[in-house]
Structure 1
Amino acid sequence: MAMEIGEDEWKVCCGSSEFAKQMSTSGPLTSQEAIYTARDIWFNQVNVTDWLEAFSAHPQIGNTPSPSINSDFARRSVSEQSTAFATTSASALQELAEWNVLYKKKFGFIFIICASGRTHAEMLHALKERYENRPIVELEIAAMEQMKITELRMAKLFSDKAKVISETDSSSSPVSTKPQAEAKAPKRSRPPITTHVLDVSRGAPAAGVEVHLEVWSGTTGPSFVHGGGGVWSSVGTSATDRDGRSGPLMDLVDALNPGTYRISFDTAKYSPGCFFPYVSIVFQVTESQKWEHFHVPLLLAPFSFSTYRGS
C-alpha cells in the first residue's frame, strides 16, 4: 500500500533535512519503493554535509541525549541502544566514552553504528576496529550504518501507519479477498550494478581505472580450478571518473538477470608496478534479489584491497 508521509516523519527516520525533503516530495510510496528511493537519495543525491547532519542528530553511543535536545530522532536512538546498555557496568561505559572522544577527535563526527541486536561489547569492538580506518573510508562506512538505521525506522513507520489504516478500514469496509499482484521495484535511475574505486593510500578517489563487468554463462557455476562448464561473457566496460565512480557497465534494466557476476579492475594502468596489477571481484545475484541494486566498490591499497556490498 502506497502511503503519503510528511517531511517531519522522514526526518525522524534519518536526521537529514535534505533527505527528508526529497523523500516527502517523492509522492506516495509503498514500503519497498521507499527503501529503493531512500537508498538512491542517500547515496547519490544528498551530499556529505547532509550525511554529517544526520550523524549529529544522534546522541553518542552509550550516552543519553542532552536535556537541551528535544527531538523524536534522539529519543529513538536512545531506545534502540537501551537493550545493549541496560546491564553495562560503569567502567565499561567509561571505556566507551573515552573511545568516543578519540573517534570524534580523529574523524570529526560521532561513531555511527546500527545498534539493533548488538551488545555493548560488540559495539565497542567495532568502534576500536573502525578507529584504524582512513577518514574517507570511515565516512562511507558511517553512511552505510546510518542507512541501516534509517531502513529499520522506515519499516517501523510503515508498520505503524499500516496498523492505523487497517484498524480504521476494518471498522468501515469489508476485507478484500482479491489476491494482490507481486510488488515490483520502481523504475531504476541507474544500472543495477555499479562500482567505484577508492585509493586508500591517498585517501582519495581513483580516476581513470578501467573496469570490466562480466557474467558467467554455463549450466553450472564457475569453477576457478578447472574452468567449469561455461565461460565469462562480457557485459560492459567503462572507466572511473574524477570521483572514482565507473561509467555505466550495463543497460538500465528493471530486473537484473540472476547469476554470477565478475567486476575486474585494471589497476596496473592506474598504478604501474603495483602489487595487484589486476583485481577481480565475483558475486552472485539470486532470483529474489533481481530488483535490488548492487554497488560493489574497490578499496585499493599498495599491498591489500577490500570490497563490500553497498547500495
Structure 2
Amino acid sequence: MTSGTTPGLTRFNTSADSEAVAALHEVCSSSAWGSRILAQRPYTTAEALFLASDAAMAELTAEDLAEAMAGHPPIGRPKAGDPTSSREQSGMAGASTELKAEMLELNLAYQDTFGHVFLICATGLTGEQMRDALRKRIGNSPEEEREIVRTELGKINRIRLTRLVESPETPETSEEESSA
C-alpha cells in the first residue's frame, strides 16, 4: 500500500467537501465513517488516512455498521454496471452453476440468521473460499459476526482507499469498482 503523498491523496485533501463526501461514500456507505474521515483532512500520508479509517471503523455503532453493509450486494450477485463490485467479487465470476446456487442458498440463510448480507473482503478469494467462510461464519453469534463484519469492512475500506489515493485520474474519469 502507498504510504506517502500521492496525486490522488492531494486531490482528496484539496477537493470540495461535497466531492470528498461522494468519494468516501464510494469507499464506505456509513455516513458516520465518512464524516470522521472528512473531519480529519488533510492527511499527510496515505498511511495516516488508513489509520484514520481503521479508527473510524472501530467507533461505528451497530446502526452505522448496518448502513455500511447496505452498500454491499450479496456475494455472487455484484451490482449490475458497477465495476468495483464486479472486480471485488471476481472470484465468483467463473464459479460453476452449482457453486453459484449454493452461494445463493447460503446467502439467504445467512440473511435470515443475521438480518444483513454476508460481508467478506472478497478481493483475491475464490468462490470456494468465500463459500467456506460463509459456511463457517453462519454458526457465529450475532455479536461475533458483527465484529468479523467490522474487520472485513476495514479491509475493504483500505483496499478502496488505496485505489482512491493511488488513482492518477479524477473520480469522474476513472473506472471505479464496487462491493464485496
TM-score, structure 1 length as denominator?
0.47
Aligned length: 155
Matching of residue 35 in structure 1 with residue 50 in structure 2: yes
Q: Which residue of 2 aligns with 1:13?
A: 27
Q: Which protein has the larger Cα radius of gyration, Structure 1 or Structure 2?
A: 1
Distance 1:64 1:39 in 2: 25
Is it true that 1:58 corresponds to 2:67 in the alignment?
Answer: no
CA-atom RMSD in angstroms: 1.8
Query: Unaligned 5+ residue runs, structure 2?
Result: 171-180
- Tell me by how many angstroms 1:153 deviates: 0.5
The Cα shift of 1:75 comes to 4.4
**Residue pairs, 1:52-201, within 5 angstroms:** 52-65=66-79, 75-82=83-90, 84-160=91-167, 163-164=168-169
Q: Does the 8 Å contact 1:8/1:20 carry over to 2?
A: no
Matched, 1:26 2:24: no
Paired residue secondary structure (2:89)? helix
Amino acid at match of 1:43: A
Q: Which runs of 5+ in 1 are unaligned?
A: 166-311
The question of whether the paired residues in 2 share the 8 Å contact of 1:59 and 1:78 is answered with no
Residue number in structure 1 paired with 2:61: 47
| Deviation for aligned residue 1:140 | 0.5
How much identity, in percent, do the aligned residues show?
28
Check conservation: 2:76, 2:100, Cα contact below 8 A. Answer: yes
Q: After TM superposition, which residue ranges in structure 1, 4 or more long, deviate above 6 angstroms?
A: none
Conserved 8 A contact 1:13-1:153: yes
| Larger RCO, structure (CA 8 Å, separation 6 or more) | 2
Contact 2:78 2:85 in 1 (8 A): no
Q: 1:164: how far off?
A: 4.7
Cα distance in 2 for residues equivalent to 1:102 and 1:145:
20
Q: In structure 2, how many angstroms separate the alpha carbons of the residues matched to 1:152 and 1:129?
A: 24
Mark the CA change 1:158 to 1:105 in structure 2 (over 3 Å): closer, same or farther. Answer: same
